[in-house]
Structure 1
C-alpha cells in the first residue's frame, strides 16, 4: 500500500494540509508517499490573483482551522494583485524536486508551499527551485534543468489526478493495487486521517 497525495502548490488548503502530511509521514516512515500535482490554475484560470476576491477570506479560515502561516511577502503579493498563479509551472517544479529525491516528495511539496505562502516567491521562477534544492541539499543545477524540461511530467501528473477521480485539493488517498480509499479531502487533522489509515495498514 502507498499514500497518494494530490495537491496543488497554489492551493491554500493544501498549504494548510502540510502539517497533517508532516505528522502522518512521521508516524508512518515506512509507508511510501507519492505526491501528484492537480493543476488548479491552468488554462483560463491563469489570471491575476486580484481576480480571486475570496483569497484573503479563505486564507483567514485556513489559518484558523489549521494554524498555517501566511507571510508578509505573500500578503504583499495578494494586495498588489498582479501576480499570476500558474499550476503548470508549479507542477514542473514539483516533478523536478521529486525526481531529485522521490522519498522526500511530501517534504519538498511543503517547501514549495512555504516558498510561496510565506516567502512570497514565484513557483514559475527557476531560482525558487534552486533555493529549495540547495536548502534540501539536492543537486540544484539538476533540479533547475528538470524544471525547464518538465512539461511532460506536469501533464502526466494532471492526467494521473484525473484518473484517480480527484476533483478538489488537497486529497489524500490510500492505494493498494486496484483499491483506492479516500483518507482526506480538503481539511483534515492528522488524527482524523489516522483513524481511517489504521484500518488499512
Structure 2
C-alpha cells in the first residue's frame, strides 16, 4: 500500500494540510508516499507552468496534471491510499490526522485475503 498526495501549489488549503500530512507520514513510515502537483487554482494549467522557464517544466506539469486527473482528483488537497487496484480518498480538503487514520484503518480492513 502507498499514499498519494495530490496538491495545488496555488491553494492555501494544500499548504494548510502540510501538518496533517507530516503527522500521517510519521505514524506510517512503512508507507511510500507519492507527491503529485495536480494543478493551479482558477483553472491554471500546464501552459501556466511553462512560464517558469525551467527545462522540462511543461512536460512535468502536464504529466502531473494527467496523473491527478487519472486518479479522479477534482479538488485539492487530496490524499489517497492505493493498494494494488484499490484506491480510496483518505482526505479531500480539510482533515485531521485522526480522520485520516480512521479512514486508512477502514480501507486496510477491507483488504482482500
- Fold agreement, TM-score > 0.5: yes
Q: If the TM-score is normalised by the length of the shorter chain, which range does it land in?
A: 0.7 to 0.9
Query: Are 2:102 and 1:163 equivalent residues in the alignment?
Result: no
Partner of 2:82: 175
Partner of 1:75: none
TM-score, length-scaled by structure 1 = 0.48
List, as ranges, runs of 4+ consecutive aligned residues in structure 1 with deviation greater than 3 Å.
Answer: none
Partner of 1:148: 55
Partner of 2:101: 194
Q: Distance in 2 between matches of 1:25 and 1:190?
A: 9
Q: Distance in 1 between matches of 2:105 and 2:87?
A: 15
**Unpaired segments ≥5 residues, structure 2:** none
Aligned residue pair count? 105
- Following superposition, the deviation at residue 185 of structure 1 comes to 0.4
Partner of 1:27: 27
Bigger radius of gyration: 1
TM-score, length-scaled by structure 2 = 0.83
Q: Distance in 1 between matches of 2:67 and 2:99?
A: 25
Q: Distance in 2 between matches of 1:18 and 1:196?
A: 18
3-state DSSP of counterpart to 1:198: helix
Q: Distance in 1 between matches of 2:69 and 2:86?
A: 16
Once superposed, what is the RMSD of the aligned Cα atoms? 2.2
Partner of 1:144: none
**Unpaired segments ≥5 residues, structure 1:** 47-85, 90-123, 127-146
Q: Distance in 1 between matches of 2:103 and 2:14?
A: 19
